[in-house]
Structure 1
Amino acid sequence: MTDGRAAEHGDERPGRKPVHNGVTADLPRFAIRIVAAIALFGLAWLLWRLHDVLLLLFAAVLIAVILHAAAGAIRRFLPIPEGAALALAGILILAFASFSAAIFGREVSRQLSSLGDILPGALEALRDWIGADRAQALQDQLMPSGTTLAGWAEQVFAISTGVLSALVLAIVGGVYLAANPDLYRRGALRLLPRGARPAVRDFFDHTGIAMKRWLFARLSAMLVIGVITYAGLTVIGVPSALALGLIAGILEFVPFAGPILAAVPALLLALTVGHSTFFLTAGLYLGIQQIEGNLLTPLFLKQAVDLPPAVTLFTLFIFGAMFGVVGVLLAGPLTVVAYIAVRSLWMERALEEDVTYAAEED
């Protein structure tokens, strides 16, 4: 009798759902989860398809960080508004670039042109020194099958042109971002749920400080490496020392891979002078690497972001495999952002660990 009444009235005792409505009640939740999963998958696919645009946006953010860091340095000495400091920072950077181009531009252009003329002869000298079979094996390893030296050079030129075009767009975008960064920051935070905004806001703050310190440290290292390379190659007697020093300074921005790539043209040119010059040049670049790894990195970069060397090395390969040449060029700052994200959003917020940031210790 009791079971019949329960069946008749649907058993509506508190804490127990009607049996005939159980599946129907769970359908909306299940459908919402399916739709959310599809939306997340679609968003991930869209972001992957637009990764070139996102990398360009990240480069624009780097330009904005540089402008703000320069403006902050100016405001320490001149009591002027932030907008005026940004404008003055941009003018000073352009003036410095123009002044450098006026003094060194013609000589660098001449040496770069000379570098292009000498390299084929340097390759022939390398072939004669190590043997035609070994040289061909080395060429097969460095170049895909069927690729000629001229074709490889054309590919390098095309990549360089694309990078320069992206750099121009990044500079323009960086100027816009630097003009009103709070507008874009607030807009990005409003896209997030209210509960997630404080954590992401703290992540933005920590990342901004770390990126300013990291960029200053990296630019300082680039300057030191470029000057040391130029002076050393000049003493040794390697042709186009100024151009090679400029290449070494620029490629210092790319961790690990940059210094190795910078040594290749210098070693080839040194080989045209003589074997002793080749070995002296190899010793010079090896010594510069030791100075960079044991002196400059602990002195500059450790104060900005205490990144383990293994993390930097593996992220270089990861970003290079994912995004190609642009990923390699931006591997350093991308690693800084990822490292701060792990410490700020995961360790500090999710795990509730006590986290210290090297850029904020002083």
Structure 2
Amino acid sequence: MSTRAGSGESLVRRALPVYIALALALLTAVSILLLYALRHVLLILFVSILFAAALSGPSEWLHDRLRLPRGIAAVLIYVVAFAVLVGVGWLVVPPLLGQVAEFADRAPQYADRYDGIRKAYGDLRRDYPALPPFDDQMSRLGNAILDRAGERASSLPGNLFSMFLDLLSVFVISLLLVTNRMRLRGFTLSLVGHDHRDRVAEILDRSWARIGVYLRAKVIVMAIVGALTYVALLVIGVPFAVPLAIIVAFGELIPRAGPWLARIPLLSIAALEGPRTFFLTLAASILIENLKGYVISPFVEGDQLDIHPLVVFVAVLVGATLAGPAGAFVAVPAAAIVDIVVREVLVPWRKEQIADAGGLGEGPLRPAGARTAARS
């Protein structure tokens, strides 16, 4: 009887790790699904952290120089930024409306060029009969555009209200983070052992400083690229310079692919103006991008986000897949934080493990001289 009871207990003991592993796997799957379901909330929280990090430097300066409370300093910075946006809008909206009206005036010219493209496609189709009819292709494209525009128009009020709530949430959360950052930092450090507290504090401060400088520098780079694009379009003679320059400037929010994706409307309008305008616009875009890469970004951004381009590209792809353009925008600073954790925490921890393992035995990574010294 005791033997059976002992064998039953041994079976339970052997099965217990399996049950624990299954329970942990189930909890992991549930956690991943929960994080995916809350990705919009997490995105708002991370964007708020970005804005709070960008505000912390100027607000600390106002706090030290003018003795303003950090909350009031952050609100003052938001008010100044909003006033700047209103001023830019006051300067941009009138020419923007004028260029929209100009687009309506140019519609007959674009219609004539459309007929020319249609005839050229017909000539090409006579040589390649397998090509579908041009009118059918344009009809499908037009129907798709109209359907998409109808969907967007019907959902516009709800999207605007949702955007307003998101912006309000970012505003409130970022203000709370700025005013309570030191308290949150102290609480986080209280959860860390005394031996590692200084190291964790250094990593937190470096991460906070890097993402703050990154966002402030990104705004400056956007303004410079937008201004250079606007001047180049005026010199070349490309119509609708104001909206196209704004689109190109906002394309800088998404690294690598964003600037060229934002130039698709620009190059399309330039192509409608003729081959000369198209090639001049393409050359100006390449020149501005090289100027940004070799002069503007190194001078403004420095090496604040010294991340390998492959990591940046993969991070942007993952962020865009999970949360669209906003996810692509936050992917780079998120990758920078992960990069700091890997370099400052995981790599030293792994090196210590390897060193400890090498000191205990003659592992394959232990130098031969160390083995000889150990034997002696």
| Pair in the same fold by TM > 0.5 | yes
1:114-138 Cα offsets, whole Å, 9 max, x none, are: 5688689759747845944799899
Aligned letter for 1:252? E
CA distance in 2, matches of 1:299, 1:163: 37
Deviation at 1:54, TM superposition (A): 1.0
Structure 1: unaligned runs, 5 residues or longer: 1-7, 11-17, 354-362
C-alpha change, 1:115 and 1:215, in structure 2 (3 Å) is: farther
- TM-score, normalisation: structure 1: 0.75
C-alpha change, 1:214 and 1:162, in structure 2 (3 Å) is: farther
C-alpha change, 1:223 and 1:146, in structure 2 (3 Å) is: closer
C-alpha change, 1:110 and 1:203, in structure 2 (3 Å) is: farther
- Who is 2:204 aligned against? 204
Aligned letter for 1:218? K
Deviation at 1:311, TM superposition (A): 1.9
Identify the match of residue 96 of structure 1 among 84, 90, 95: 84
| Paired residues of 2:71 and 2:178 also in contact (CA < 8 A) | no
| Paired residues of 2:52 and 2:175 also in contact (CA < 8 A) | yes
1:260-284 Cα offsets, whole Å, 9 max, x none, are: 1222222222234333222211111
- Who is 1:264 aligned against? 264
CA distance in 2, matches of 1:310, 1:121: 44
- Who is 2:336 aligned against? 336
| Paired residues of 1:74 and 1:89 also in contact (CA < 8 A) | no
Aligned letter for 2:289? Q
C-alpha change, 1:182 and 1:79, in structure 2 (3 Å) is: closer
C-alpha change, 1:50 and 1:125, in structure 2 (3 Å) is: farther
| Paired residues of 1:305 and 1:336 also in contact (CA < 8 A) | yes
Aligned letter for 1:93? A
Residues 107-118 of structure 1 aligned to structure 2 (within 5 Å)? 107-111=95-99
Partner secondary structure for residue 253 of structure 1: coil
Deviation at 1:217, TM superposition (A): 2.2
Among the aligned pairs, what percent are the same residue? 24
- Who is 2:181 aligned against? 181
- TM-score, normalisation: structure 2: 0.72
Residues 58-77 of structure 1 aligned to structure 2 (within 5 Å)? 58-75=46-63, 77=65
| Paired residues of 2:248 and 2:263 also in contact (CA < 8 A) | yes
Aligned letter for 1:300? V
Structure 2: unaligned runs, 5 residues or longer: 125-130, 354-376
Deviation at 1:247, TM superposition (A): 1.8
C-alpha change, 1:31 and 1:272, in structure 2 (3 Å) is: closer
Deviation at 1:148, TM superposition (A): 2.0
CA distance in 1, matches of 2:145, 2:317: 25
State the Cα RMSD in Å.
Answer: 4.2
| Paired residues of 2:315 and 2:328 also in contact (CA < 8 A) | no
CA distance in 1, matches of 2:116, 2:221: 36
